[in-house]
Structure 1
C-alpha cells in the first residue's frame, strides 16, 4: 500500500480504490503523488485479489491536472534549464498511463467537479467513467501557452474523434458532463448525490465478473485501432484459448448448461 498523505489507498473485497487527496488545490498533481500513484497501480497489477480499480478525488473535484503554482519558480530559469525541467515533469507521469493501458483489470473513474488539464487524460485512460451532472471537463493547457501532456492527445482522438479532440485541445473550452456523455468521453452521467451508488453498482458487477476474460477483452480493444483485422483475429484466437483454461470459463460453461447465474471467482 502507498504511504503518502496526498493519496488515500484501499484494497478490499476485490476492489482497489485510489483517492487523490489534495482537496485544497482541487487535487492537483504533485511529484509525490505521481510516484505514489505509479507504485499503487503497479501493486494492483501484480495482486490477484484486485479485480477492479477505482480512481476518484477527495472533496468536490476529481483532479485539476498539474500544480500550476508549482511551475511559477521554474519559469524564471533560462530556457536551457527550463526545457529539460519541464520535459522531466511531463515524462514523470508517463509510466502511469502505460500501466493504465496494460492493466489486466478494469479501471473506473468516479468523477465530481473539475477534470482539468492532464486529468482529462486520466479519465480518458479509464475503462469506465461515472460522472456527476455538475462535472466539467477542460483541456486547459492552451491557456498556459503549452501543448497537452498526460496522454491527452493519444486518448482523446480515440474517445471523441479527431475533430472534437482538436476543438477541446486548441480552444480549451469547458465541456459539460452532458456534452462529455454525448462525445463519448464518459459512460454515464448521474445526479451528484447518486455518483457513489452508481459507481458502486458498476464496480461490484466488474469485481464479481470473470477477471481474466474482462482483462483480455480490454487489452484486445485497446490495441484494436492500431492492428490489421488479420492480426486482431490472431490475438482473439490466442486470447480465447488463454481464457479457456481458467476456472471462470469452466464456471461459465457449467452455469449456462445448468441455467443458473455464474459465480465467478476471478481465477
Structure 2
C-alpha cells in the first residue's frame, strides 16, 4: 500500500483502500450505491442536533484551517524557491517538448527574500 508521503513525492495513484487508511476519506462506496449512501448520510445529519453539529463542525474547521494557513505559507515559500531554479524552466520545456526532464538541482539564480 502506498503511503501519503510516497503519493506526494512519487506522483502515484492512490486506491480507495489507501484513501481511507491515510485519512483522505472515511469511506468508499460503489458508483451504484453512492446516491443512496449520500441520501442516508444527509438524512442522518438532518435528524441530528443542528446546534451541536454546527459547533462541532466549526471546531473541526477552525483546527483544520489553522493548520492549512501554515501549510499554505510553507507551500508558497517552496514554490517560489522552485520557480527561481533552472529546474523549473527545464520542467516546463520538457513538458512542451514531450520529453523527460533532466534535473540539475542547481541553486536559485536570485536569493529568496526572507
Give the TM-score category using the shorter length. 0.3 to 0.5
User: If each structure's helix is expressed as a fraction of its own residues, which one has the higher value?
Assistant: 2
User: If each structure's strand is expressed as a fraction of its own residues, which one has the higher value?
Assistant: 1
Which of the two has higher C-alpha Rg? Answer: 2
Greater RCO structure (CA 8 Å; 6+ sep): 1
